[in-house]
Amino acid sequence: MTAAPAAAPPTTAPLAGFTVAVTAARRADELSALLRRKGAQVIAAPALRIVPLSDDQRLAAVSDDLVRRPADVVVATTGIGFRGWVEACETWGTVDGLLDSLRSSRLLARGPKARGAIRAAGLTEEWSPPSESSAEVLDHLLARGVQGLRVAVQLHGEPLPDFTAALRLAGAEVVEIPVYRWTQPEQTAPLDRLIDALTCGGVDAVTFTSAPAAAGLLARAGATGRTDALVRALRSDVLCMCVGPVTARPLMAHDIPTTWPERARIGSQVRALAQELPARFPALSVAGHRLRLRGHAVLVDGTVHTLSPTLMRLVRALARRPGQVLDRARLLTCLGEDADAHAVETAVARLRTALGDPALIQTVVKRGYRLALDTPGCG
């Protein structure tokens, strides 16, 4: 009789033990699901609200103008924006004229979603950049020459001043198509709670999928007098993971470190976060175990041990100086203002139990406690 093969060791989800914030208004559920699949706890609070302009007179006037005088080039920057434009004209009964106008124009799509929206409308794009970058679209147009051309640019929630200014300097007549705009959420309480969590150390990373979301978070913090506290947190303790460099600009303006994946996709964003966030917490070899801290948990040999905020503060203090003895007075500061000296012994006992092996934390008689850091060559 052949022995059954040994079971493979359990694998730990890369974001297990971390809390990640989602600020998106659109596709928030999809992004949250991807993060949870990687093991993260998710706090979702939209930092903005998308307002369609289907009843906006400016959009109607621009559309009518393009029907009368079609553009030589039309740039579609987002799928949702291009679809919203077509749908708005349907409500006004002018969609046939718009589509006829667009068929006579050269259509450029900034990315696959914009390309899909163009094709869904029965149109065909002339070109789309592999990088999905507005800068590459601009370079393409300038290389082909725009002197004397009428170029219509579908905006995606906010003006594109650098893009349109460069076209105008090159001699183009630019028509801006304002399909939708961003504003603050109707309910700001979830965003206020998120700002509280960010400033109080309750969040390990925050994700942004648009520049208006990043600007919206900062604007709400400013409106409630918490800009300085938020910026301090984002500069130090919280990892800011953007979907791309354009999204990061409002944060970079405040000297907030940001990172983003090579491809501007939320799937790539989640994969990059799953690599970068755990890498900020190096593994320690302690009492023959592999120990790694997370936001609200400790991994011991790959097993997640979720801890209370008090015990997390205690283990962070010990891990900040691994192997060094911390006296009771130092550790007492982790337990709150009402704690007494005896509370340290109680908390250390609870921490040992929570971590599963009392040997991880060593008592040094008359001095204090330390992580029982393994020395090279031992064990």
- The strand pair at 368-371 and 361-364 is best described as antiparallel
pLDDT digits 0-9 by tens, 290-325? 999 998 899 999 899 999 888 998 998 999 888 899
What is the helix (H) or strand (E) element at residue 42, kind and residue range? strand 41-44
Q: How far is CA 126 from the centre of its chain?
A: 32
pLDDT digits 0-9 by tens, 17-56? 999 999 998 789 999 999 999 999 999 999 998 776 655 7
CATH of 19-46+188-256, one of 3.40.640.10, 3.40.50.10090, 1.10.10.10, 3.30.479.10: 3.40.50.10090
Q: The pTM is what? A: 0.73
DSSP for 55-108 reads T-HHHHHHHHHHHHS--SEEEE--HHHHHHHHHHHHHHT-HHHHHHHHHTSEEE
The model's confidence at residue 64, banded by pLDDT at 50, 70 and 90, is: very high
- Please report, for residues 60, 66, 139, 379, the alpha-carbon distance to residue 55 in angstroms, rounded to integers and kept in the order given: 8, 18, 34, 72
Q: Which of 1-10, 65-74, 312-321 has the lowest average pLDDT?
A: 1-10
Number of Cβ within a 10 Å radius of residue 3: 5
| 154 secondary structure, DSSP code | E
Q: Do domains 19-46+188-256 and 51-182 have the same CATH topology?
A: yes
Q: What's the mean pLDDT when you consider all of the chain?
A: 89
Boundaries of every domain in the chain: 19-46+188-256, 51-182, 284-371
The CATH fold assigned to 51-182 is Rossmann fold (3.40.50)
Query: Can you say whether the dihedral through the CA atoms of 35, 37, 42, 44 is positive or negative?
Result: positive
The model's confidence at residue 376, banded by pLDDT at 50, 70 and 90, is: low
How much helix, strand and coil, in percent to the nearest 5, is found in the chain? Answer: 45, 20, 40
Residue 357's φ and ψ, nearest 5 degrees, are: -150, 110
The CATH fold assigned to 284-371 is Arc Repressor Mutant, subunit A (1.10.10)
d(CA 299, CA 55): 54
pLDDT digits 0-9 by tens, 215-230? 999 999 999 999 999 9
